[in-house]
């Protein structure tokens, strides 16, 4: 069975985490494809700036949202559909990253990152799936990261959330396909954003947000379960992932430069 693939004629594209980085660029790219885009994020000012961008035949409408608030997530979905129409495409992109070092494990840091990156996605998934189930069609994309493939220095919190999202999407796929809802995982490499500037390790094949958004749009059109880019980074990481753990760790220990750093 060929599952549903959204187009601008089918309804609204809802994007979370839209106030900056990939989310901001993706809203622009989808609107320029002709979508009416419902853009959600916490920052009202940044959303207002986004809605004033030149997007050709599409349009962007701001729907402020803090994804840590379950009631607000449900209310936002209701409001989007009441004001703009059915959500045909949902891109759940909201996320945060905080460096998590092994020299000082901070439970509160993990709680914050998990609350936004994992539970924030689930809070938005729940009402969207309900709407799409009733219509028996829809497309959902969850934005992860290539850091989901294995642990990298300081990514214990962030990377583990992206691993969890990959598992969630893969598991939900079994049921969603039965109601004609396509779910995808978008795992980008390193993209120049405020979050990646916190990374303290080399970031090969660093991309700009516009280029990343263009790859995402192509991936959404293709409909494949996992959308990965850039290939020159994704495929080497896939190969490294299948190495025996000890060999992989030693390789990454050296390539990251962590073998030259002092404790802490």
Q: Which residues are catalytic?
A: 158
Facing residues of 89 across strands? 13, 139
Contacts of 210 (CB under 8 A, 6+ apart): 25, 29
Contact 58, 35 (CB under 8 A): yes
Q: Is 18 exposed, middle or buried (0-12, 13-18, 19+ CB in 10 A)?
A: buried
Length of the chain: 264
Q: Residue for token digits 């009402």?
A: 127
Q: Tell me how far apart the alpha carbons of residues 158 and 162 are, in angstroms, rounded to a whole number.
A: 7
| Rounded to 5°, angle at Cα 119 from 118 and 121 | 70
Quote the crossing angle between the two packed helices 21-32 and 209-222, to the nearest 10°. Answer: 60
> 120, 93 in Cβ contact below 8 A?
no
Query: Which stretches within 4-119 are classed as H helix?
Result: 21-32, 44-51, 70-83, 107-114
Q: List, in order, residues 6 or more apart from 111 with CB less than 8 Å away.
A: none
Per DSSP, the chain holds a count of helices (H) and strands (E) of 9, 7
Q: How far, in Å, CA of 37 to CA of 17, rounded?
A: 13
């Amino acid at each position: 069975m060929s599952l549903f693939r959204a187009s601008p004629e089918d309804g609204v594209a809802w994007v979370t985490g839209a106030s900056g980085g990939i989310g901001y660029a993706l809203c622009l790219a989808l609107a320029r494809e002709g979508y009416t885009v419902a853009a959600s994020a916490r920052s009202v000012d940044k959303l207002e700036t986004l809605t004033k961008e030149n997007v050709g035949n599409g349009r962007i409408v701001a729907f402020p949202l803090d994804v840590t608030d379950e009631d607000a997530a449900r209310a936002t979905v209701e409001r989007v559909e009441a004001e703009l129409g059915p959500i045909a495409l949902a891109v759940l992109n909201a996320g945060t990253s905080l460096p998590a070092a092994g020299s000082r494990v901070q439970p509160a840091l993990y709680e914050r990152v998990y609350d936004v990156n994992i539970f924030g996605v689930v809070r938005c998934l729940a009402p969207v799936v309900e709407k799409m189930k009733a219509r028996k069609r829809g497309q959902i994309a969850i934005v992860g990261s290539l850091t989901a493939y294995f642990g990298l220095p300081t990514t214990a919190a962030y990377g583990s959330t992206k691993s969890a999202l990959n598992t969630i999407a893969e598991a939900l796929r079994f049921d969603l396909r039965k109601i004609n809802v396509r779910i995808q995982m978008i795992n980008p490499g390193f993209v120049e954003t405020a979050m990646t500037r916190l990374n303290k390790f080399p970031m090969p094949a660093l991309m700009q947000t516009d280029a990343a958004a263009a790859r995402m749009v192509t991936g959404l059109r293709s409909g494949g379960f996992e959308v990965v880019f850039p290939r020159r980074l994704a495929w080497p990481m896939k190969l490294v992932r299948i190495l025996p753990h000890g060999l992989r760790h030693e390789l990454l220990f050296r390539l990251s430069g962590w073998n030259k750093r002092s404790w802490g």
